[in-house]
Amino acid sequence: AFLRARRQKWREDATNLDETRLRARIRRRLLPLLEKQFQPATVVHLAKLAELAREDEAVLDALVEERFARLVERKEGGAKIRVADLLEPWGAGDFTAKCMEKKEGFVALSKRLVRRIVKQLKSRTGQISSGHVEAVLELARQGQSGKRLILPGDVEVRRELDALSFLSAACDTAERKTQPSRGGSRNNSGLTSVYEYEVMLGSGGAVVRVPWLGCAFRLRVIDWPREARETKLEGVALDRDRLRSPLVLRNWRPGDAYRPAGHSRPHKLKRMFLEKRVSRWERESWPVLTSGGSIVWARGFPVAAEYAPTPQTQAGLVIAEVRD
């Protein structure tokens, strides 16, 4: 009726008659056999089952999208999820968990979450099989930090402490090779850094936005109080007069080291990350402030001892992180 209304001719796909293809054999041999010898309404029943399956699939897809939005931390070319959230995507406080007392309910959602994450990151075609999905879940259940696996579509999965990081290998490589950083500096391997911003301090300071992190850093110049109780600082502080140009906010790089205030010798940031349980996924974009090429501050750690305020400090530089 549809074609007749538009005065168009019916066209048969030639492959529908090619019985070397499984779908053609099912249509031309199996279904007629089932209708003749078992159930005349076989096709009707199968169509109804397919309709019910589509409805169930729509509900499951909606559940997965909600969990994906809530549990998965995303950045360009990567995603991260806590192992506990992946293995039990419905927390104990969720009313839905009471309806999913059987572990099969969690496993089904966990598998779909894995497929949803990989789907977003795949840079090329590649079939994700049930075996691949199970390997990811096994990495979550039993894997040690540092272990990884590669999935079809150039997606790398890493176990990092209590989380799984999913990285698009092709995207990660391409970005590092082609994306210019602000300031255009390159590291020893010849790859451009993820980000690098030269900070131009005005009379009151500066605000540096880092889209890669989804936040901004406010650097504020203040008159240093003679007594600590005279003011309450929101952030960490450096001695402004000890800083030298250029002042640069950039991501962490392998080999970075400095002497934190309160310590007698320099420490590599990599070691400090391990002590603080910072995952590899987070380290790659961890913010660091340098002065004249020397590290003076790294997020979450003490400032460099040589640049920490002293009783002789006249002006301070206060660094505070704000969500952009």
Superfamily of segment(s) 194-323: Phenylalanyl-trna Synthetase, Chain B, domain 3 (3.50.40.10)
Q: Residue 259's pLDDT is what? A: 95
What are 39-77's pLDDT values in tens digits?
999 999 999 999 999 998 898 899 999 999 999 988 777
Three-state DSSP class for 200? coil
Question: What confidence score (pLDDT) does residue 174 get?
Answer: 40
The CATH code of the domain at 70-173 is: 3.30.465.60
Residue 193 to residue 286: CA distance in whole angstroms: 12
Residue recorded with tokens 């650097």: 219
* Nearest residue to 201 (alpha-carbon basis) of 145, 147, 245: 245
Q: In the Cβ-directed half-sphere of 294, how many Cα atoms lie within 13 Å?
A: 15
What pLDDT, on a 0 to 100 scale, did the predictor assign at position 71?
93
Identify the pLDDT of residue 322: 87
**In 3D, which of 47, 51, 10 has the Cα closest to residue 1?**
10
Domain ranges of the chain: 2-37, 70-173, 194-323
Average the pLDDT over 251-262 and give the result. 94
Find out whether 47 and 33 touch, Cβ atoms under 8 Å: no
What gap in Å lies between CA 243 and CA 314, rounded to an integer? 13
Which tokens go with 284?
Answer: 């790659």
